[in-house]
Amino acid sequence: MNVLLIGGGGREHALAWALNASPLLTKLYAAPGNAGIADVAKCVALDAADHGAVLRFVKDQAIDFVIIGPEAPLVAGLSDALAGVGVKHFGPSRAASQLEGSKGFTKDLCREAGIPTGSYGRFSDAHSARCYLERHGLPIVVKADGLAAGKGVVVATTRAEAEAAVDACFAGAFGAAGAEVLIEEFLDGEEASFFALCDGRDAVALATAQDHKRVGDGDTGPNTGGMGAYSPAPVMTPALVERTMREIIRPTVAAMAARGTPFKGVLFAGLMITADGPKLIEYNVRFGDPETQVLMVRLNSDLLAAMLATADGELRRLDLHWRDDAALTVVLAAEGYPGTPTKGTEIRGLDEARRTPGVEIFHAGTRRDGDRVLADGGRVLNVTAVGATVAEAQQRAYAAIAKIDWPGGFCRHDIGWRAVAREKGARG
């Protein structure tokens, strides 16, 4: 079948790489794609926000299946536009995408369905939010309610920091995303990323992963969209996986169906593993980035077949298989990220780095200029490796990074440190 993949980041490169291996695939298009995706798909200049243009392209190119990668087109209703003309697609409706489009919506649903999460308050003005802060202790979490590209979250350890975060939201620092503010209880524990395919009725858990949000080594500095990830996440034992499905994922799928807005796509739960068990931090309604990169290199099943089963409501027949190997990815970001990144710097040595055993390099924010590869975003490359252990995958990823010549970029040097420490402890 002919497939159109919407998006142009590292997540989409990893998806395109996996889709390209499917025997069901005839031709893969990516809109807009990037310099790496161009190796496995035909990249096309198509604005996902222009639903009419997408529908015309689908018709003209006889597209059988559309896969929507990023959250913005989902929240904007691209799935609804495709459904309206009978085009099969992977990704939830606009109504179901509220699980990511509004953090307050998700919190309210958790309260109604008894899903474990932190206590919270929702506010549409700074005064009410400040009054709430006065009644609650520190640390505390301040979030812009809407889509803020992973940057609208502040874990405040002082009252001044919390108030500044509230003021920034209402002053327009995150645009329309900050028109409403969520203030949440700080959850103590270890974070994990949990993914499940959902067909509106049934849900199938994917492999576990853990990412690193802070920009600096030792989990320091501001939050980012993610500076690296690894899979599996040792904190997510089989018992915790089943508990997460029972207490969080399945109740969410049931609650969304009961509302008349069934969720069909991939549900990405950001979890905090507390002393009381898993609690939901927030939902995303698409694959995570950079978690997708480590999931795809471990997936031993046909991704396209799994996505079709999701779209067709046939997940109960799906049996996914995963490599026993661990996987780890390190994000190379442009100087200035997570603020304003420097664009246009040349990246050399990618071919040599890719020859490192067990390594795949996924492009996130790149473009080609003739034979040159240039940085064209904040998070630019995902150097991804597999190994018998997380420590071995880590060693291979950083060995590949050492071969990349890019003075305009940087990375963290401790991705996977929790898992590596656990492995050492198990051996010792």
123-164 pLDDT, tens digit per residue, is 999 999 999 999 999 999 999 999 887 678 889 999 999 999
Question: What is the pLDDT at residue 257?
Answer: 98
Q: Nearest 5°: CA angle at 291, between 277 and 220?
A: 75
For residues 348 and 405, the answer to whether their CB atoms sit within 8 Å is: yes
Rounded to whole angstroms, the Cα distance separating 326 from 58 reads 37
Using CB atoms within 10 Å of the CB of residue 2, give its burial: 0 to 12 exposed, 13 to 18 middle, 19+ buried. Answer: middle
Cα of first residue to Cα of last residue in the chain, in angstroms, is: 51
Q: Which amino acid is at 109?
A: L
> Is the preceding peptide bond at 139 cis, omega within 30 degrees of 0?
yes
Rounded to whole angstroms, the Cα distance separating 107 from 94 reads 18
- Three-state SS sequence of the chain: CEEEEEECCHHHHHHHHHHCCCCCCCEEEEEECCCCHHHCCEECCCCCCCHHHHHHHHHHCCCCEEEECCHHHHHCCHHHHHHHCCCCEECCCCCCCHHHHCHHHHHHHHHHHCCCECCEEEECCHHHHHHHHHCCCCCEEEEECCCCCCCCEEEECCHHHHHHHHHHHHCCCCHHHHCCEEEEECCCCEEEEEEEEEECCCEEECCCEEECCEEECCCEEEECCCCEEEECCCCCCHHHHHHHHHHHHHHHHHHHHHCCCCCEEEEEEEEEEECCEEEEEEEECCCCCCHHHHHHHHECCCHHHHHHHHHCCCHHHCCCCECCCEEEEEEEEECCCCCCCCCCCEEECHHHHHCCCCEEEEECCEEEECCEEEECCCEEEEEEEEECCHHHHHHHHHHHHCCCECCCEECCCCCCHHHHHHHHHHHC
Whole-model pTM: value is 0.94
Q: Nearest 5°: CA angle at 215, between 362 and 322?
A: 40
Q: How many CB atoms sit inside 10 A of residue 285's CB?
A: 25
Q: How many CB atoms sit inside 10 A of residue 329's CB?
A: 35
Spans of the chain, pLDDT less than 50: none
For residues 62 and 2, the answer to whether their CB atoms sit within 8 Å is: yes
- Residue 171's φ and ψ, nearest 5 degrees, are -85, -5
Question: What is the pLDDT at residue 238?
Answer: 95
- Residue position matching structure tokens 């664009």: 343
For residues 347 and 366, the answer to whether their CB atoms sit within 8 Å is: yes
pLDDT, one tens digit per residue, over 167-207 is 999 999 999 988 999 999 999 999 899 999 999 999 999 99
Q: Which two tokens stand for residue 68?
A: 């929507």
HSE-CB at 78 with a 13 A cutoff on CA atoms is 26
